[in-house]
Amino acid sequence: MAFEATDRHELRSKLEQYAETGDKALRDEIVASQVGLAEYLARRFKNRGEPIEDLIQVALLGLLKAVERFDPSRGLEFSTFATPTIVGELKRHFRDKGWAVRVPRRVQELHLRMGTVVNSLSQELGRSPTIPEIAQRAEVSVDEVLEAMEAGRAYRFSSIDAPAGEDEDRAASPAATQLGEDDTGLEEVEQRMLLSPLIASLPKREQMIIHLRFFRGMTQSEIAARLGISQMHVSRLLARSLAQLRDRAGAEAAPS
Amino acid sequence: MVGDSEERREREEELGRGGDVRLVVPAAPEYLRLVRLTAAGLASRLGFTFDEVEDLRIAVDELCFHLLGDVDDPDPSGEPRTMDLVYSAGADFIAISGRTSRTGDVAEPSELSEQILDALVDEHEVSGSNGTVTFRLRKQRES
């Protein structure tokens, strides 16, 4: 991604301005203009067992940190400074939040395959399938299905998408990590989400999922159909979001 | 062999009706997997659907969080703490209770946590007193 000289110049002046003013809107603008860099670096870590969407979110967090920490007076190119910061964030993600349990390859494969099986069975049956039904269709044992369900959660979820700072920085994260598709219901969601600043700190799509699941009472399969993603993905995002909310709720409740 | 399978079916029905399963694990996040797996295993025997099993797993996680507390927080006796879980399978429901000995403060479940659990299971409760924290939940099979 070669930057035109004018782009580079513009980026520099924005960074200088941000360093001076700390203007959040400006910061978000800078982050948005550099998303390509984050995505590029995230892709270098793919095929290591983590979904690419998750890696991109981690990379965006790194990018955000880089924008906040960049000191224009040192004369470095922003990309020179940002690259190690983003890569560091990705590496840390693998180190800290990597697979907590070694998941055998066949279980991982079944986990991936199960997404399709659950979707097609749900459509045929007009309801969520039972575990034996899934096992039969996938031609594996019930125990293997259960194991594969766990595999979706085998890595430790933590505050993967946590904004760099604390409360005052919260607004930055959704803007930076808004990768999902726009949804007309989103504004309404946002309104309701004001009730819960913790939820508001999650990426938009996860807010949406939490809202549909817990405030509208939709099932995971219904949400999957509505958002056009797999049910397994909904399950994973949901579990991760809850783990994050819990982490943060815990952090806020802590006396220190 | 006919006798064997019949015997087995009877045993399974018995389990499905009222047999309890007990699980004691260290009070550490690493063991939540076992706690969830046991819940999912029993629920699937009772014919819970995939969605219902998922809900149950999330609820178990959420409630066990209250037992985990501070990981370094030892048992009042100084031993590493454990979580004791009892899974009761009814004909069309599963009930799970958990307890741990814990001296630290018990955080009130947040409003959000309540809301989430309301959506996931039919009954849930967390309570703490005299150095013991307990929870219980009950989830009914839909059809």
The tokens for A224 are 């999957």
Q: Is the pLDDT of residue A77 over 70?
A: yes
Please compute the mean of the pLDDT values over residues B104-130 and round it to a whole number: 79
Identify the pLDDT of residue A225. Answer: 79
Identify the pLDDT of residue B117. Answer: 83
Q: Do A235 and B61 touch (CB under 8 A)?
A: no
Between residues B42 and A52, the one the model is more confident about: B42
CB contact B62 to A (< 8 Å): yes
Between residues B16 and B139, the one the model is more confident about: B139
C-alpha distances out from residue B96 to A5, A131, B29, B35, B88, Å: 64, 20, 18, 10, 6
**Comparing C-alpha atoms, which of A132, A61, A64 is closest to residue A93?**
A61
CB contact B116 to A (< 8 Å): yes
Among B33, B51, B115, whose Cβ lies nearest the Cβ of A128?
B51
Sheet (strand B123-129) strand order: B20-26, B82-89, B93-101, B132-140, B123-129
Highest mean pLDDT among A245-254, B14-23, B125-134: B125-134
Q: Do A149 and B33 touch (CB under 8 A)?
A: no
Band the pLDDT of B53: cuts 50, 70, 90. Answer: very high
Helix locations, A98-203, DSSP H: 105-125, 131-138, 142-151, 172-177, 186-193, 197-200
Between residues B74 and B63, the one the model is more confident about: B63
- What is d(CA A203, CA A211) in angstroms, rounded to the nearest whole number? 12
Q: Is the pLDDT of residue A60 over 60?
A: yes
> By mean pLDDT, which of A23-27, A94-98, B8-12, B107-111 is the weakest?
A94-98
Cβ–Cβ < 8 Å for A219, A128:
yes
Contacts of B116 in chain A (CB under 8 A): 214, 242
Contacts of B31 in chain A (CB under 8 A): none
* A/B interface, count of CB pairs below 8 Å: 78
**Comparing C-alpha atoms, which of A203, A136, A161 is closest to residue A55?**
A161
Identify the pLDDT of residue B107. Answer: 64
Predicted-assembly ipTM surpassing the 0.90 threshold = no
- What is d(CA A209, CA A218) in angstroms, rounded to the nearest whole number? 9
Helix, strand, coil percentages, rounded to 5, for chain A: 70, 0, 30
Between residues B109 and A155, the one the model is more confident about: B109
